[in-house]
Structure 1
Amino acid sequence: MTTTDRRALLMAGAAAGAAALTACTSSSDRGTRRPSAAEQEAERVARAEAALRLRSVATARGLLERYDAALAAHPALAPRLTPLRRSAAAQAQALGEGGTTVTPATAAATPSAAAASRPSATASASPTASPTASAGAKATATPPAVPADPRAALRELAAAAREASDRHSAALLTAPPEYARLLASVAASGAAHAYLLTEGARA
């Protein structure tokens, strides 16, 4: 091979290497693109709403656990408590239907990362959803204590329903409009539960 041929071969190899390096750098830049200010703000708002939903679901599940504990301790109260317990379960599911997890805006810059995180972005916070269920599993390790006297059990359950109603009402201050309407409905229902349980305790 002549000197000219070797020189041409080296130049061709250098050109190919430079092209490959440019392609890798370009691909890397696309994959690590920083989210815009609008994307960061949208993510912040989404995270705040997801956190609010998670707290609301936890509150609803806490009341549901108290219904279950009361029913387990006093089966004779089933005719009175079962409809209210069913209502509490439906509310817990409705409060988590919008999801409680958010895909980071930076993940959207890389198609593979976005695809990997897509299930998390659509996760539901229903009573069986993993984020809430995992948190609830720790809370339900020890069932709530229930008084031996049925009337006292009803009074405690009424207090729990009133407390849950107050928490949902407080969450209205930072909730987006549509979710705020749902929270208002659940809070009103909780107040009705407290009233019905209080009247039942007096019977």
Structure 2
Amino acid sequence: MISTIFDDARQTGRAGVTTTGRRALLVAGAAAGATALAACTSSSADGPRRPSAAELEAERVARAEAALRLRSVTAAHGLLERYDATLAAHPALAPRLTPLRRAVAAHAKALGEGGTAVRPTTAPATPSASASASRKPAASPTPVRVAAAPGAALEELAAAERTASDGHTAALLTAPPEYARLLASVAASGAVHAYLLTEGARA
């Protein structure tokens, strides 16, 4: 009889310990979950991940290339406006200028193709480089003045060709390889145009 009572007491004690242990585990698990949730909430509240140095450098290079492309396209369109103004002022020069003007238009289109797409790692304060590279340059605020004499107008056009060619040559130093080859080709073509517009006509 006494042994039976002791056995019941042992079983009751074990059951109590087991129940207490389970409750302790549940409480500990809940506390750990709350701690993890608080940590996640704190991390997300800190804002987006900061870009690495490599990401910032890649974005800087892409923006520089987009700016270079925009400058090159702007120069080509400025030259194209000079051709149009000269043709409007001196229609008799059309047979001579039209082939050169067509080549300049092709250069302007080629220089603007394949602009660098930039995905900013931070909120941009200015329009993205990709938008800048693809945007068509604004027209000149004032009309291009053309000399009244056809010979002088050709001299002006040749000077504009040389200026654009020099600009493309200078851009070779910072241009990526593929774009540098295009710039070199356009610059060489501009030098030939300048010769044809002046010395070539006298030969």
Q: Give the TM-score taking structure 1 as reference length.
A: 0.72
| Residue in structure 1 matched with residue 93 of structure 2 by the alignment | 77
Q: CA deviation at 1:141?
A: 2.4
Confirm or deny that 1:167 pairs with 2:167: yes
Work out whether residues 66 and 157 of structure 1, in 8 Å CA contact, stay in contact via their aligned partners in 2.
yes
Matched, 1:90 2:134: no
Does structure 2 retain, via aligned residues, the 8 Å contact 1:96–1:124?
Answer: no
Cα distance 1:147–1:78, how it changes in 2: closer, same or farther (>3 A)?
same
Return 5+ residue gaps in structure 2 as ranges: 1-32
Q: Give, in whole Å, the separation in 1 of the partners of 2:114 and 2:44.
A: 34
Q: 1:115-134 maps to which residues of 2 (within 5 A)? A: 123=131, 125=133, 129-130=134-135, 132-133=136-137
Q: How much does 1:60 deviate?
A: 0.9
Aligned residue runs from structure 1 range 46-85, under 5 A:
46-85=62-101
Q: Which runs of 4+ in 1 moved over 6 A?
A: none
Query: Contact 1:151/1:201 (CA < 8 Å) preserved in 2?
Result: no
Cα deviation for residue 189 of structure 1 reads 0.6
How do 1:148-163 and structure 2 match up within 5 A?
148-163=148-163
Residue identity in the other structure for 2:69:
R
Cα displacement string for residues 53-105 of structure 1 (whole angstroms, at most 9, x for unaligned residues): 11111111111110011011111111111111111111111111132663312
Q: Does 1:40 align with 2:56?
A: yes
Distance, in Å, in 2 between the alignment partners of 1:187 and 1:51 is: 18
Q: Provide the TM-score with structure 2 as the length reference.
A: 0.72
- Partners of 1:181 and 1:199 in 2: CA distance: 27
Aligned equivalents of 1:64, 1:158: Cα separation in 2: 12
Q: Are the counterparts in 2 of residues 155 and 198 from structure 1 also a CA contact under 8 Å?
A: yes
Q: Percent identity?
A: 76
Do the aligned partners of 1:99 and 1:122 also contact (CA within 8 Å) in 2? yes
Which residue in the other structure is 1:181 paired with? Answer: 181
Instruction: Give the number of the structure whose alpha-carbon radius of gyration is greater.
Output: 2
When residues 74 and 42 of structure 1 are mapped into structure 2, their CA distance, relative to the original with a 3 A threshold, is same
Q: 1:122 to 1:75 in 2, by over 3 A?
A: same
Number of residue pairs the alignment of both structures matches = 169
Q: 2:195 maps to what in 1?
A: 195
Contact 1:101 1:121 in 2 (8 A): yes
Distance 1:124 1:93, change over 3 A: farther
How many angstroms apart in 2 are the aligned matches of 1:100 and 1:145? 34
Q: What's the counterpart of residue 144 of structure 1?
A: 144
- The equivalent residue for 1:5 is none
Indicate if the aligned counterparts of 1:159 and 1:194 stay in contact, CA closer than 8 A: yes
What is residue 26 of structure 2 aligned with on the other side?
none
Would you say the 8 A contact 2:162–2:194 is kept in 1? yes
Give the direction of change, closer, same or farther, for the CA distance of 1:120–1:105 in structure 2 (3 Å limit).
Answer: same
Q: Is residue 70–residue 132 contact of structure 2 (8 Å, CA) maintained in 1? A: no
